[in-house]
């Protein structure tokens, strides 16, 4: 169930809704703060690819890939809904699935 106010992100398969408290943090920070078991081997620098998630809703509200993410997406042949959660902002209403 979606909270009545505030921005939130839903993580699957946990079905966990996490409130966004800082607009300047990344989705990875939001997930870590919520205690979700999301891999982030490089520490959020966009070089390992272990934090990849599938965007199940809200893809149209995300900004285009930054240079770091675009390079990895091209190298690894990401689908358009595969995004690095260390490189994307916490846009309200995102539904993200961990692989
Ligand atoms: S944590 Fe390494 S690419 Fe996101």
Q: Is the CB of 46 under 6 A from ligand 1?
A: yes
CA of 48 to the centre of ligand 1 (A): 5
Residue at 61 is within a domain: yes
Q: Is the CB of 53 under 6 A from ligand 1?
A: no
Q: Which domain holds residue 38?
A: 8-97
Residue at 39 is within a domain: yes
Residue at 53 is within a domain: yes
**CA 68/CA 37 separation, integer angstroms:** 23
Pocket test for ligand 1, best of 38, 41, 82, 88 (most atoms within 8 A of CB): 41
Q: Is the CB of 68 under 6 A from ligand 1?
A: no
Q: Is the CB of 83 under 6 A from ligand 1?
A: no
CA of 28 to the centre of ligand 1 (A): 8
Residue at 85 is within a domain: yes
Beta strands in 1-99 (DSSP E): 8-12, 16-19, 52-57, 82-84, 95-97
8-27: pLDDT as tens digits: 999 999 999 999 988 789 99
Residue at 3 is within a domain: no
Residue at 29 is within a domain: yes
26-70: pLDDT as tens digits: 999 999 999 999 999 999 999 999 999 999 999 999 999 999 999
**CA 89/CA 22 separation, integer angstroms:** 10
pLDDT over 70 for what percent of the chain?
95
Q: Which band of pLDDT confidence, cut at 50, 70 and 90, is reported for residue 5? A: low
Q: Where residue 91 sits, what CATH number does that domain have? A: 3.10.20.30
């Amino acid at each position: 169930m979606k909270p009545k106010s505030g921005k939130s992100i839903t993580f699957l398969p946990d079905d966990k809704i996490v409130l966004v408290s800082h607009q300047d943090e990344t989705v990875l920070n939001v997930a870590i703060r919520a205690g979700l078991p999301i891999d982030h081997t490089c520490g959020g620098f966009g070089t390992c690819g272990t934090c990849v998630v599938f965007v199940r809703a809200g893809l149209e509200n995300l900004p285009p890939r930054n240079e770091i993410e675009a390079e990895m997406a091209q190298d690894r042949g990401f689908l358009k809904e595969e995004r690095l959660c260390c490189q994307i902002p916490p846009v309200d209403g995102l539904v993200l699935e961990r692989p």
